[in-house]
Amino acid sequence: MNLQGKTVVVTGASSGLGEAAVRRLHAAGAQVIPVGRSAEKTAAVAAELGAEPLTADFSELTEVRRLAKVLLDRCPRIDVLVSNAGCIMAKHTVTKDGFEETFQVNALAPYLLMNLLTERLRDSGGRVVVTSSQTIEGRRQLDPENINGKAKYEPYEAYADSKLALALLTREYARRHPEIQVADFHPGVFVGGLARGLWRERLLTNSPLRGTVERFVGTPDKGVDTLLHLAGTDTPLHGEYYKDGRRTDPGATAEDAVVAGRLWDICAHGTGLPL
């Protein structure tokens, strides 16, 4: 698919991978709609492109619903939804919706947005590209009944569990909506602004050694290549997982249809969507 003139919505667009992606998508001729949590940062990114920014905090499901309504009101078509918003929380935090925040931001909110935009995506012949993580590969089984986290909270465990949940929901979405192209991908490892309050992330992000570190672990720009490929490829996408630009086996856990179906039902109940 030629991206020239295509409407592409990118969540998590105010920093890191999302910020790099909107620039590359704009350069490819797409009409990019950047969505971010920070109004100031998202506006700065949008100003470079001459685009109109949208803000939404995925830790509040009412904001996700508001975002979907704005997009449906403004966009007669949505060719690509890049679901990229994510976070790591330093401490166990419960949102006003009653969910552990890492799970809500990384899995539940993207699930809700995809579903609210499904009809527009289908009518546009559109696709969904989801930022995943290599942490899903070979990941132990996820317990859908314990999506709000374990008794002892560990930030990176919660992040990995949330990304596995997102992977399962992405595959279930692809199964339920074969008319919509769907894929997820590992963007690579880089220093970014993902974490909220984690000292290791903040230390690297603001360190004068950042450039040295990036030579070893990569930059967001390098991770955008796979995203651009999936946004524009003519190869049919039916829930496959990509890494380093190639289709990759995510492991049996991330493709467990029974767990995915149960998780889908729990998320539908939690967001008020039909099963």
What is the model's pLDDT at position 148?
77
**CA angle centred on 109, ends 61 and 6, rounded to 5°:** 115
Q: What is the pLDDT of residues 217-274, one digit of tens each?
A: 567 777 799 999 999 999 999 999 999 889 999 999 999 999 999 999 999 999 999 9
Query: What number is the average pLDDT over the span 16-31?
Result: 97
CA geometry: angle 112, 99, 201, nearest 5 deg? 95
Instruction: Give me the pLDDT at residue 218, please.
Output: 62
Q: Give the per-residue pLDDT at 88.
A: 93
Q: Kindly list the structural domains of the chain, giving each domain's residue range(s) and its CATH number in brackets, ordered by start.
A: 7-271 (3.40.50.720)
pTM (predicted TM-score): 0.91
pLDDT for residue 210 is more than 50: no
> Any idea which of 7-16, 147-156, 207-216 has the lowest mean pLDDT?
207-216
Q: Give the pLDDT confidence score for residue 203 in this predicted structure.
A: 44
69 burial level (CB within 10 Å; 0-12, 13-18, 19+): exposed
- The pairing of strands 88-89 and 127-131 is unpaired
Largest Cα span, the chain = 50
Residue 94 φ then ψ, to 5°: -105, 130
Please give the pLDDT value at position 213.
40
E strand or H helix that includes residue 54: strand 54-55
pLDDT of residue 194: 59
Instruction: Tell whether the model's pLDDT for residue 196 goes beyond 70.
Output: no
Q: Is the pLDDT of residue 147 over 90?
A: no
In this structure, are residues 39 and 63 in contact, taking their beta carbons and an 8 Å threshold?
Answer: no
> Among 189, 195, 185, 58, which residue's Cα sits nearest to residue 131?
185
Q: Does 192 have pLDDT greater than 70?
A: no
187 vs 129: CA distance, rounded Å: 11
Q: Annotated catalytic sites, by residue?
A: 159
Q: What is the pLDDT at residue 202?
A: 47
**How would you classify the pairing of strands 7-11 and 31-36?**
parallel
Q: How far apart are CA 77 and CA 31, in angstroms?
A: 11
Give the pLDDT score at 191.
55
Q: What is the pLDDT of residue 120?
A: 99
Q: How far apart are CA 143 and CA 141, in angstroms?
A: 6
Q: What's the pLDDT at 33?
A: 99
**Matching residue, tokens 């060719």:** 79
Burial of 149 from C-beta contacts in 10 A (0-12 / 13-18 / 19+): buried
* pLDDT value of residue 190: 61
Residue 145: pLDDT band with limits 50, 70, 90: confident
